[in-house]
Structure 1
Amino acid sequence: MKPVFSAVNFIRSHALNHRQSRDLLKDIDSKFVDLPYYAAVRWLSCGKVLLHFFELKSQIDLFLTEKNKPQPLLSDCEWIWKLAFFADMTGHMNHFNLKLQGKTNLISDNFVHVKAFRAKLALLEGQVKVKNFAHFLCREKFHAESKVEFPSSFANEIISDLRKKFHERFADLDAKENEIRLFHNPFDHNSENLPTHFQMEIIDLQADDRLKDKYREGNLIEFYKCLQLDQFPNLIKFACNFVSIFGTTYLCEQTFSKMKYVKSNYQANLSDDHLKSILTIGSSNLEPDFNEILKSKRQYHSSH
């Protein structure tokens, strides 16, 4: 990956190189009109850079050679095999990361995505062992160009290690799987197998057809809001614990992005109080009723 980023930075960091590279891509009618920068703080940029670099490897090789900055690895088939493999794998990772993002994602939703991706890794590992590369599109594309055999053992080692890391990373969720399943679908549990403080409430819940219809609407938070505190105190407390868990750092990153645009070089003198107020407005889902707000003021003029 280091040679990739080095070549991309050489092209992108010089205005003349960048302009000439774009002109080259335009002349050959490439579907990619530019090379994206790589930024470690941006989740998805690595996969995009690797994919673009793989697709444009011939043009990049020609451009670097003309600039007296040749990259010998672009003539190394074994290295290009690994480049194709990593472009495919980071593509799968990007697809997984995108599913984890979103304001409305609950911990139970993310756990579903984690389990699905683990199963996909198991599938990919098994297929690579028998040399089935149906889900490696870049690898399949380069297969038609190369006479060197794909390093299957290398790919299998990477996928195996990735599976291990995923099990270690999300071990805390595995320990809470039964509780997450209860939160996600309280109607799919036998009351006899639940803790005693939930048993009576679950029986009442599963017997209420109106609550079943509300659950089928698909909004878990709204469903739990419908429960009566005096009838389901333990279940409501249990649900609040899971609703309040942040599945990812997506909301924090989004707030920092808003702050970057609010407190720019042109607005560096904003006080902390003003910045807090603007961020609260920018990150809130509430829609203020300006007419009612204005009517509460002493000097209210509708024309204003």
Structure 2
Amino acid sequence: MSYSKPKRKVDDEHRQFQDRWTLQYFFVEFNGNATCLICKEKVAVLKEYNLKRHYSTKHGDQYEKYQEDERKKRATQLQRELTSQQTLFYKAKKDADAAVEASYVVSEMIAKAGKPFTEGQFMKDCMLKVADILCPEKKNMFNNLSLSANTVAERITELSSDIYDQLRGKAGAFIAYSVALDESTDKTDNAQLAIFVRGINPKWVMDLAFLVDITQELNILNLKLQGPGQLITAAYESVKAFSTKLRLWKTQLSAKNLSHFTTCRSLAEEGIAFNGDEYASAVENLLQEFDKRFADFKAHRDTFQLFADPFSADVESVPNLLQMELIDLQCNSELKTKFREAQGNADKTAQFLRELPPRFPELSKVFSRLMCLFGSTYLCEKLFSAMNFNKCKFRSRLSDAHLEAVLRVSTVNSIRANVAQLCEQKRCQVSGKK
């Protein structure tokens, strides 16, 4: 029974270019191939025997005379020449690619503007005139731009074919679609059929599911930030908690853990692909936007923490003006007991901080200022809603003075109009007329 050894594959041998081959055989590695510095030929297989044979048969007689430092100098010179040549070729290729890309961009603009194909040459002539004035050294780049009528027609046809191919690819993944079509005739009385397709693919459905889940969480946060009389420290705690949740979700989404994204999880269980890294990136963008919008909160973090629990605050983190009073407060067991009893009830906690004994004047000032701050623009939004309800298309002639009066009466809750006094004033006015 004969046995034949399996053929070896070059990739399986993990051959690597050796630096010593540059001095020995005048070769360097470029794009995975060994390139001869002398004749610029490439040797595909990185094997010393192949490089040695090439050097010995083609260049050995001429280059064996270079030894040691002279050989190093010659190899360095040849490397510089190769690099310069490659740079020149790269620039030429880059310029040619840019000219082709520009021709596609201009052709697309011509198609979208409904201009004739011959407009391409006119636009090129205009660009050449502009180049003469603004950048004459780059005029040759504009000159290489092909925008003849035939080229523009060809580019537009290729753009159309690419769009059609993309549409076919997307349509194959539609889970639901609809078609709109109609027929008409052009100026030469040729019948033309227009077909539009609208569809939903699994990727779109998963995007929508992610949007549903994240919007639900944002709505929950929005409700926490609303409401009259809310302290700014409560808003800070809600935002801080949501930022922490975002960091957790980012990590979990990268690992395709959908514990907190129920809509996405239900689709994934049905077999719809879920790209965790893509949605983790979206959460990261949201987190950055939150950090940007609530940067002021971070700047006052220590003050907020002092307000939330002055008995657990770090004395060294507060301003020097407050340190002595804070130490006295934290060492007062009676006040500490009262605070712990009030903790958990926002109204009682606020009352405790408002009614601190007179020996804590600076702390009282800080707490009073914080309690005066609005936690959100909820009241303003509520007022504008009332404004739009009152001054609508059915009451558009309502004067500014009357609108102001209606809004003040309907939106202010902490102050009640003194109806008894108003009635007394009316009685005085009536009796004065007699």
| TM-score normalised per structure 2 | 0.48
The answer to whether 1:286 aligns with 2:414 is yes
Q: Are the counterparts in 1 of residues 303 and 318 from structure 2 also a CA contact under 8 Å?
A: no
2:397 to 258, 269, 275: 269
Q: Are the counterparts in 2 of residues 73 and 79 from structure 1 also a CA contact under 8 Å?
A: no
Aligned twin of 2:279: 155
Q: Are the counterparts in 1 of residues 256 and 274 from structure 2 also a CA contact under 8 Å?
A: no
In 1: Cα distance, 2:329 partner to 2:300 partner: 22
Q: Are the counterparts in 1 of residues 354 and 368 from structure 2 also a CA contact under 8 Å?
A: no
Q: How many angstroms does 1:197 deviate by?
A: 2.1
Q: How many angstroms does 1:256 deviate by?
A: 0.4
Q: Residues 235-254 of structure 1: matches in 2 within 5 Å?
A: 235-254=363-382
Q: Residue type of the partner of 2:198?
A: P
Q: Residue type of the partner of 1:269?
A: R
The answer to whether 1:173 aligns with 2:297 is yes
In 1: Cα distance, 2:420 partner to 2:340 partner: 36
Q: Residue type of the partner of 1:279?
A: L
In 2: Cα distance, 1:203 partner to 1:296 partner: 54
Q: Are the counterparts in 2 of residues 183 and 239 from structure 1 also a CA contact under 8 Å?
A: yes
Give deviations 1:135-194, integer Å, cap 9, x for gaps. Answer: 111112212333x42122211211122222222222221121101111222222254653
Is the alpha carbon distance of 1:89 and 1:295 closer, same or farther for their aligned partners in structure 2, counting shifts above 3 Å? closer
Q: Residues 150-229 of structure 1: matches in 2 within 5 Å?
A: 150-191=274-315, 193-206=317-330, 207=332, 208-209=334-335, 211-212=338-339, 215-216=342-343, 217-219=345-347, 220-228=349-357
In 1: Cα distance, 2:398 partner to 2:371 partner: 34
Give the secondary-structure state (helix, strand or coil) at the position aligned to 1:138.
Answer: helix
Q: How many angstroms does 1:255 deviate by?
A: 0.9
Give the secondary-structure state (helix, strand or coil) at the position aligned to 1:261.
Answer: helix
Aligned twin of 2:145: none
In 2: Cα distance, 1:263 partner to 1:212 partner: 47
Q: How many angstroms does 1:113 deviate by?
A: 0.9
Aligned residues: 238
Q: Are the counterparts in 1 of residues 302 and 318 from structure 2 also a CA contact under 8 Å?
A: no
Aligned twin of 2:199: 73
In 1: Cα distance, 2:244 partner to 2:316 partner: 30
Aligned twin of 2:140: none
Q: Residue type of the partner of 1:96?
A: L
Q: How many angstroms does 1:112 deviate by?
A: 0.8
Is the alpha carbon distance of 1:281 and 1:66 closer, same or farther for their aligned partners in structure 2, counting shifts above 3 Å? same
Q: Are the counterparts in 2 of residues 191 and 203 from structure 1 also a CA contact under 8 Å?
A: yes
Q: Is the strand fraction higher in 1 or 2? A: 2
Aligned twin of 1:47: none
Q: Residues 18-167 of structure 1: matches in 2 within 5 Å?
A: 72-74=198-200, 76-146=201-271, 148-167=272-291
In 2: Cα distance, 1:225 partner to 1:215 partner: 13
Q: How many angstroms does 1:239 deviate by?
A: 2.1
Aligned twin of 2:425: 297
In 1: Cα distance, 2:275 partner to 2:421 partner: 67
Q: Residue type of the partner of 1:122?
A: R
Give the secondary-structure state (helix, strand or coil) at the position aligned to 1:140.
Answer: helix
Aligned twin of 2:31: none
Q: How many angstroms does 1:67 deviate by?
A: 11
Q: Residue type of the partner of 2:298?
A: D
Q: Are the counterparts in 2 of residues 118 and 163 from structure 1 also a CA contact under 8 Å?
A: yes
In 1: Cα distance, 2:197 partner to 2:372 partner: 50
In 2: Cα distance, 1:221 partner to 1:272 partner: 37
Q: How many angstroms does 1:234 deviate by?
A: 1.7
Q: How many angstroms does 1:195 deviate by?
A: 2.6
In 2: Cα distance, 1:87 partner to 1:141 partner: 12
Q: Residue type of the partner of 1:72?
A: R
Q: Residue type of the partner of 1:221?
A: A
Q: Residue type of the partner of 1:112?
A: E
Give the secondary-structure state (helix, strand or coil) at the position aligned to 1:73.
Answer: strand
Q: Residue type of the partner of 1:165?
A: E
In 2: Cα distance, 1:67 partner to 1:299 partner: 77
Higher relative contact order (CA 8 A, sep 6+): 1
In 2: Cα distance, 1:133 partner to 1:156 partner: 11
Q: Are the counterparts in 2 of residues 125 and 160 from structure 1 also a CA contact under 8 Å?
A: yes
Query: What stretches of structure 1 of length at least 5 have no aligned partner?
Result: 1-57
More displaced, 214-223 or 230-239?
A: 214-223
Is the alpha carbon distance of 1:67 and 1:212 closer, same or farther for their aligned partners in structure 2, counting shifts above 3 Å? farther
In 1: Cα distance, 2:342 partner to 2:197 partner: 58
